[in-house]
Structure 1
């Protein structure tokens, strides 16, 4: 999969910009705050319908303007695709695939896939469980539209249940009203957890292999998924249903007191263990960055294996805080990646000629040359 051309209008610092890219490595060079990361952000938005760093989407609109528009021309095997995204200050968003409006997010996600590593990716190691859940949810949504539908149903039911818990706490509703929402949470929750665990087991193999490459086999990384409630992933259907319902019932008084649901896949997490210690607490900056990179590169291999298509790779400030040895391992791995890659840097790296088919772009004040 290759992005041949990108058009940006009123997107952050870009008033009107059109860029054509090479099939292999695209190095985007410029000083800080000139628009390098914004190019990658635009590509990511076309793939996922969201920014990797900002919410709400209105913040993506150029200052003093009322809308933005993005368009990408993509080659996938023998097919040529056009993807378009627009957003207005009013909140109206529109996505088109080959000129046809996509009415549901599930129709859009997975049209073309990207893997994005940025400084924000360190939250996969250092951040909250919500950051890691977001990673696994987006990964699965790119390869399984049914999962996204199930996730949206679950999130809707969860929101309704939490609102009802607050009403019960203030004596405005009966606890009996929770039962229908518990039914939905149980059915969708079990489906979500089972899918997550299955995909995570596949992902784990790729991540560990990439981590070994990035460290020269000198460090051992373990990944452990922690579902809520525990033990549900290995249970038979009836037993899983009973476990989930029991968890919701046993925590009901506590949930009413807090006005929040404390059991379910919205509480899942996964642990990253490096040399028998949790990387979040004990890993160095370089080690944490390497693990985040391994997660992203493992994501790439899983998507490629599952869909038969190679995602576009976006690497923002990838070499910062990696020592010379880790940078060398990463450089070697990139040479074997066989994917269209976009890399941002504040300078033209000395290794550029070694990458072969590499095109260098210079960015200054929202202009690309």
Structure 2
């Protein structure tokens, strides 16, 4: 999201798809409810028609009751028919007046939902879309998606820069509580990803819960944004290649990673702890990726890393460890992966000082 935009995205309505209920059904039940309330008011007036007085002919017929009910509910009140007994006035005050209020509220609510609210929501949605730049799109807010968002926020990402796409309102409600913009939709469809301005996003995380759905989302996103870095979670190892062929930049297999942690724990109980520490922003250490700076070209990797430890460089799609000759002389365009102090290092240091 553009840094020039000072307002909070939460000040505006979050992106949402229109209600799954057809418009005509929504209007129909409202109309039926109004007719039901009017029928109840007619029944009350007809039951106590002796308490009404007609100044025209002195006789209160059924049509007169309908007429009086309609002008009472619409608050027109011509005065030609009026309640004259205490009971009739009590019925009108305690029963008809609440019905009148409900009918007016239903009409106002219908006008708001189908005219004012839709116009207002569309306008505010346009504001959000116009200011979505350099944001992160999360497709799927299940367990993995939620963990990813929480980790991004812990690493310093502003939640206003995160847009969550999910078909379930419960998941979206949780994302909204974290401060993210949300849209109820199918991320495999072009229109959904276009609504979140996928072409202007800085990255995308896909965790749909099913490998086939996740891969289809990657395909959809890739053809809309060819430059977009896409990270996807797949569970079956034979789908990892398919995900890469679909256009994923990074493929994560949580099952395989869990197996690596379990195997590492057999070699030493602290190995899995350290690996988990590296993956979390709240740990004492963290992994950082950055490009080689201009004044670092020609130097050895071990000589440029001051606060941490350089462990790997990437050069021309190849990777080299800190012990290899390539790490002794950095070149322009190299990418360095470093182990740096994490957020937890300062916290634990502060706790130690307090003790």
TM over 0.5, yes or no?
no
Q: Name the TM-score, length of structure 2 as normaliser.
A: 0.25
Greater per-residue strand proportion: 1
Greater per-residue helix proportion: 2
Q: Name the TM-score, length of structure 1 as normaliser.
A: 0.24
Greater radius of gyration (CA): 2
